[in-house]
Structure 1
Amino acid sequence: MASENTTIQLTIENHIATIRLNNPERHNALASSDMEQFREALAAIKKNADVRVLILTGAGNKTFCAGAALDQLSAGDMEAYDFPTLTDALAQLSIPKICAFNGSVYGGGVELGLCCDFRIGIPGMRMFVPPARIGICYHLSGIKRYLSLLGAANTKRILVASEEFNTEGLQLMGYLTHLCDVEALEATVRELAERIAGYAPMAVQAMQRIIDQHESGELSEEEANHWVKSCWQSEDLQEGLKAMQEKRAPSFKGN
């Protein structure tokens, strides 16, 4: 499956979905129409039981994403700012998500990274978030996401002080989970995605849900125990144990 010639490109192959932001001339900033395409791509992934991992990246070699296209906003028109529905939809996907930074990241693009589970950066990338500089209070779900993953002190540096960070600073605060050379980015991302896609999908997604819901304060112990029990009763576990005994790679089906 593939969508081409759009600013939001979706491909699905070998259990791996890739969303590429394809507007490098505008630093992959997202207009309202782009956000709608993005949400449609996420909905298609959610409905596709064959997808086990998502890679999110950008076109070009300068910027991953500059967030929402601010030139489309006007004072008082909060309804036009539909970025929170996009980031919430991305964060709520129950499959592992890898953000591959092909360049620097700004504004809402930083939160797109926070919605992912793994963030792979490159030397020379930079980051800052500008709402305080122009009079926007960042949306609540986004602030919660910053606080959960980076803590209050770093969140204030990013949002309130609108500081600019280099690669080293992004590593120190824990924003980047991995760092690799530019030339190795695609291979590094692909290796991680293929490795996770080869694991038992029921177990991966169960642990993903438990971790995410614990972080958001929405974890139900009863539901978590149900997921754990389902994995213990799964055909995938039988296959995994059999493959280990036979010293071969397992072939998981997700049941």
Structure 2
Amino acid sequence: MIRLDKDDGLWIVTIDRPDKANSLTAAMLEDLCRIAEDALTGARGLVLTGAGKVFSAGADLDAARAGLAVSPLWERLSGAIARHPGLTLCAMNGTVAGGAMGMALACDLRISVPGAKVFYPVMKLGFLPQPSDPVRLAALVGPSRAKMILMAGQKIPVDEALNWGLVDRIVNSDLLDEARALAADTLAAEAGHARSIKGLIG
């Protein structure tokens, strides 16, 4: 289940399947795509988070075996997030794994609770990552560390991910309160101004 809460220009999207580590079915992934595309014109800021102790384990295993692991929906989702003209944040309430990494990598900022891990076990599972994910990952952490995750299959603790630049802040207080605080200046600015600054950064 995907839950959407709209809060004065800030859309907060929650992956809400905690009993299955927030793993994604095709229907859930389609919902995420639709929301991210609607947010391009409907939201000034976008926050992605999860319910429970895990952000997302990526594709549901049964759905992955049925073809979801190589679905174009993953690229559609990350592309929509990356094109958003406002500020996008991944509020990692726990570990992020597999295809769900694409959502996190496409966001402008990644904040996390302590104790989370980041991993992308495509080598072990025999799948290729979605095309944009290695590029975005290497841009954040460099090619060697990208290979550490994608080829060596390492689970990176969030404090190490912070040192690498993969995570921007570890939050000991309420995660969504921190996300709202980080989005506040963008929400208060004119949409065109925020878009222009984001465009200058690249």
TM-score above 0.5: yes
Calculate the aligned-residue CA RMSD, in Å: 1.9
Percentage identity across paired residues of the two chains? 28
Equivalent position to 2:168, from 164, 177, 185 = 177
- 1:56 paired with 2:48, answer yes
What's the secondary structure of 2:58's corresponding residue? coil
**1:208 and 2:202 are equivalent in the alignment:** no
- Which digits, 9 at most, give the CA deviation of each residue in 1:87-143, with x for residues without a partner? 122212221101111111111222211111111112111121111011112122211
- Count of residue correspondences: 202
1:198-239 Cα distance to aligned partner (Å, 9 max, x none): 123211111213333xxxxxxxxxxxxxxxxxxxxxxxxxxx
For residues 119 and 10 of structure 1, what CA distance do their matches in structure 2 show?
Answer: 19
Match of 1:250 in 2: none
Amino acid in structure 2 at the alignment position of 1:52: R
CA distance in 2: counterparts of 1:70 and 1:81, whole angstroms: 17
Q: Deviation of residue 45 (structure 1)?
A: 1.4
CA separation of 1:10/1:153 partners in 2, compared to 1, >3 Å: closer, same or farther? same
**Aligned 1:83-232 pairs, distance under 5 A:** 83-181=74-172, 183-212=173-202
Q: Deviations over 1:68-104 (max 9, x none)?
A: 2232133888764632222122212221101111111
1:191, distance to aligned residue in structure 2 (A): 1.3
Q: Note if contact 1:8-1:21 (Cα within 8 Å) is conserved in structure 2.
A: yes
Q: Which runs of 5+ in 1 are unaligned?
A: 1-6, 213-255
1:16 Cα offset (Å): 0.8
Partner of 1:41: 35
**8 Å Cα contact 2:30/2:73 also seen in 1:** no
Indicate how the Cα distance of structure 1 residues 142 and 78 shifts in structure 2: closer, same or farther if over 3 A, else same. same
TM-score (ref. length: structure 1): 0.73
Change (3 A) 1:201 1:71: same
| Mapped contact 2:70–2:130 kept (Cα < 8 A) | no
Unaligned runs of 5+ in 2: none
Give 2:34's aligned amino acid: E
| 1:79–1:104 CA distance, 2 compared to 1 (3 A) | closer
Distance across 2 between alignment mates of 1:195 and 1:80: 36
Higher-Rg member (1/2): 1
